[in-house]
Structure formats: structure tokens, C-alpha cells
Amino acid sequence: MAIITKITTQTKNTERFNIFTDDGSGERFAFSVDSDTLIKYQLKKGMELDDFSLMEIQYHDDIRKTYNAAVQYLARRMRSEKEIRNYLKQKEADESIIDEVIHKLAEQNYLNDKEFAFAFVRTQINTTDKGPDVISRELKEKGISAEITGEALNEYPREQQIEKASKITSKFLHKTTKESWKVQKQKLEQLLLRKGYSYEDIQLVIQEHEGEKEDEAELEAIRFQGAKLQHKFYKYDGFEYEQRMKQALYRKGFSIDLIERYLGEKENKE
């Protein structure tokens, strides 16, 4: 049986107290607790503590410390249950203590995966150009169920998704480029897929913007690519030169008609 011989306030954290005990072998530091634990167990000088009491007090205090760490983590922004669990595991908290803390946070409505998911979706819509697939994947990584994710994504109507994809497309197409429309379209598809938009909506948006493609811009692109290829195939002439140019330009996404037009234009100049 240990007897509490002294209780002191910690210098760096006045909300915590150091408990000293003597089990007959002399006074020594036993453990520390916060003010809540001190009051709950009415710890005071001269109080006797058996092994069970010591374990119970320390277990309660571990829950308190872990709970406080979780609340501080939540103070920065909303978190999912999985995020809290992962954070507390990094703090090396025991699984049983984490369970207690999660239960307490949920009871106090500090932790609610459904509210978190809805808030997360709204934030992504308002601050990013992400499509629904990326948002869904991020919610899954945060431990949100498919059912809750589906409900939350109802906050992101298809019309708004298409509008965002259209803005990305306009910005992409207004960049100066020296590539064929076919290559540009392939790159645009990949960009929108990475952003999380559906293939169906991507095709719809690209079709809407296809009219923005100017013939003169495509001709300028083939002239640019053709000039580069001329340096590559300068040692060839006649039929072999022409065939190599045609094959190379076709691989770069230019149509046969445009390739013939370009080569005819070049021949006329010569």
C-alpha cells in the first residue's frame, strides 16, 4: 500500500500535478494527473492507494490526456473518425483508450462523420476545381463510408460539375500551344480525368468547346511541328522524305488532309 506524501504543481503546465508516494521504501515520484483526475479521485496528502486504485487513476488520466490531444487536433478543423484514430495512434495511445476518447467525442458531437463529409464536399466545391471522383476518393481515404459519401456528393449537382470542367477546358484551350487538336484533346481528357470528372461529362464539355478550335491555329501547329521534323529528316529527299514526314505528322495527331495541305504549301514555296 502506498501513501501520498506530497502533491506539487508542474512548472510548465499548471493544470497538471505530480503525485509523490511512499510504500515504505522512501518517498518517490509516482505519477502525474490533471486537475480533473485530481478532483475526481479526491487525491490528497496522506491518502492510501492500493494497486487497483493506482491503475484506475492512471487509466483515467491517460484518457484525459488523449482526449485533450484529440480536442486540440480538432480545434484546427473538422476531422473524420479515422483521422482522429490515426492521429492518436501516432501519439502511441492504447487502442482501448482511443475507443473511449472516440466514444466521448461522438457523444459531445465533436465527431460526426456525416457532418464532416458534407462540410468537406462543400469546401472542395467552393475552394477547388476537383471533380466528384477525386472528392469521393479523398473521403474514402478519410474513412468515410460509401453511403455517407454518396449522400454528401448530392451537394455537388452535375450542372455545377460540368460548369467547373468547362472552365478548366477554356483555360486549357486558351494556352498557347503548337500541338494538334487531337493531341490537345487527349491531354485535356487526361487532365479532367485526374481532376475527377466522369468520362461522359468530359466528352460533353470537349464537344462544346471543339468549335473554339480554329483552322488557322491547327495550321500554325503543323507548321511548327513540321519545321522540327525537317531538321530530323533533312538527309532524306523525294518520296522517302515525304513518307517519313507524313507518318511523323500523323502520329502527332494531324489529319491526312491537313498534312497534304502543309506539304503542298511547303512544296509551292520551294
Nearest to 201 by CA among 149, 154, 158: 158
All structural domains of the chain: 2-77 (1.10.10.10), 113-156 (1.10.10.10), 157-213 (1.10.10), 216-270 (1.10.10)
Higher pLDDT, 19 or 179: 19
pLDDT (mean) for 3-11: 93
| CA–CA distance, 184 with 69 (Å, rounded to integer) | 50
Which DSSP letter does residue 179 get?
S
Residue 233's SS3 state is: coil
- Average pLDDT of the chain is 90
Closest alpha carbon to 68 in 37, 96, 95: 37
101 pLDDT exceeds 80?
A: yes
Q: How many residues does the chain have?
A: 270
Please spell the DSSP secondary structure of 96-152, one letter per residue: HHHHHHHHHHHHTTS--HHHHHHHHHHHHHHH----HHHHHHHHHHTT--HHHHHHH
pLDDT above 90: percentage of residues in the chain: 64
Whether pLDDT at 270 is above 80: no
How many other C-beta atoms are found inside a 10 Å radius of the C-beta of residue 26?
7
pLDDT in tens, 134-151: 999 999 999 999 999 999
The candidate with the shortest Cα–Cα distance to 81, out of 49, 57, 47, 114, is: 114
Alpha-carbon gap, residue 221 to 185, rounded angstroms: 14
pLDDT tens string 194-213: 999 999 999 999 988 876 55
The answer, yes or no, to whether residue 61 has pLDDT greater than 60, is yes
Q: Tell whether the model's pLDDT for residue 177 goes beyond 90.
A: no
Q: What is the mean pLDDT of residues 114-122?
A: 97
* pLDDT-based confidence at residue 164 (cuts at 50, 70, 90): very high
Residue 183 has pLDDT above 90, yes or no: no
Q: 129 burial class (0-12, 13-18, 19+ CB within 10 angstroms)?
A: middle
The pLDDT score that the predictor gives to residue 214 is 56
Q: What is the pLDDT of residues 206-257, one digit of tens each?
A: 988 876 555 667 777 877 888 888 778 877 777 888 888 888 888 888 888 8
Listed residue (42, 37, 89, 43) closest to 64, CA to CA: 37
Q: What are phi and psi of 157, to 5 degrees?
A: -65, 155
- Region 69-74 average pLDDT: 96
**pLDDT of residue 174 exceeding 90:** no
Alpha-helix runs per DSSP H in the chain: 35-40, 51-76, 81-90, 95-107, 113-127, 132-141, 146-152, 158-173, 181-195, 199-209, 215-232, 238-251, 256-269
Cα gap 108→110, rounded to integer Å: 5
Q: Which has more pLDDT, 4 or 262? A: 4
CB atoms within 10 A of CB 49: 21
For cell 485533450, the residue is: 68
Which uninterrupted H or E stretch holds 188?
A: helix 181-195
Judged against a pLDDT cut of 90, whether residue 119 lies above it is answered with: yes
Contact 67, 36 (CB under 8 A): no
- CB distance 68 to 49 below 8 Å: no
pLDDT 10s digits, 25-50? 899 999 999 998 999 999 999 999 99
Taking the model in full, what pTM does it have?
0.74
